Amino acid sequence: MDKQEIRNIIVIGASAGGISAVSKLLSTLPHDIDAAIFIVIHLSRDANPLTVLSILNRHSNVSVQIPENNTPIAKGKAYLAPIDAHMVITKGTISITKGAKENYWRPAIDVLFRTAAAAYDSCVTGIILTGLLDDGTSGMIAIKEAGGKCIVQEPDEAEFADMPTSVINNIDVDYRVPLVDMGFILSDIYTREACEPSSVSEKLKKESEITIRMVSGYEQTSELGEATALTCPDCGGVLTKIDEQANIRYRCFTGHSFTDHVLQQKYIEKTEETLWVAIRMMEERRNFILTNRLKLEQPVSLAQDQTRRASELKDHIERLKGMLELVSKPIE
């Protein structure tokens, strides 16, 4: 077998608290690890990627780089997804795309995990570290279904336990361990057993292809699940409901994807935006009525009617503000 052949793929996902956690994980890996490593950390668009890269390389035993589009995959290298772009894996190559966001994020952990599983099936090991909400759960389900392995950071150790906890609640994880143990586990996996290729579901292949192409129609997306009457809060496209064991998510043909919780939150945000627009328009109309009532000489009856309308608008505005408080309550 060619010494440079890529046999094993490690994909790592982290969000809040991720830079520190990924740095510690990389410090546990041997420099000659028999795998290529891919990392998505959810970062602000204003973050300096070179600073993050410097921090990771300072602690890592393997070289970390930010790949460009069509970068060949090399064994013993680590690749950090660039800011505001998805990192997509195909056989032997990294693609960097500007596809639609998933659960608010680009790069998205699930995009990396899903395309890795489609390309390298059982030879993928997924690792989920600290982070909020449930990002990475869908991608980890894809890895497990393709025969890969699942490692999560012990939630009690994680700075933010949501992401590892979500994976544990939805998947039969292979290892639930602190960061310090992960390097040993990976070395043991790769020295103890060789990766045996396995089959990948047609549904996973299809979604991976759609993600890579960044183009699909309603017909292709609807094949991934059940068509709904819901529309995408980002683009207005029809949402398809995709049932992944206990995990449910929604995807439009443009590529936006949301888990249950995130979709509810997005609808709340859109409702708030709509209510604020209505409040602003009513305030403007009320101010216009009051201003013109004072400026113009007009019959008493007309002035009284305008005063009444202004009062009614004030009541409507207060009701809408009350609705804002109700829709803005956190989802339990």
Q: At what angle do helices 300-327 and 260-295 cross, to 10 degrees?
A: 160
CB atoms within 10 A of CB 193: 8
Distance CA 167, CA 151 (A): 9
Q: How far is Cα of residue 48 from the mean position of the Cα atoms in its chain?
A: 20
Per DSSP, the residues of 188-209 read HHHHH---------HHHHHHHH
Q: At what angle do helices 162-170 and 137-145 cross, to 10 degrees?
A: 40
Beta strands in 256-326 (DSSP E): 257-259
Residues forming the active site: 15, 42, 135
35 Cβ contact list (under 8 Å, min separation 6): 7, 8, 9, 10, 75, 76, 125, 186, 190
Where is 251: in which H helix or E strand? Answer: strand 247-252
The position carrying tokens 């936006």 is 256
Strand partners, 227: 240
For residues 89 and 120, the answer to whether their CB atoms sit within 8 Å is yes
Distance CA 45, CA 84 (A): 6
For residues 36 and 23, the answer to whether their CB atoms sit within 8 Å is no
Cα dihedral: 200, 203, 209, 210 (round 10): -160
CB atoms within 10 A of CB 153: 29
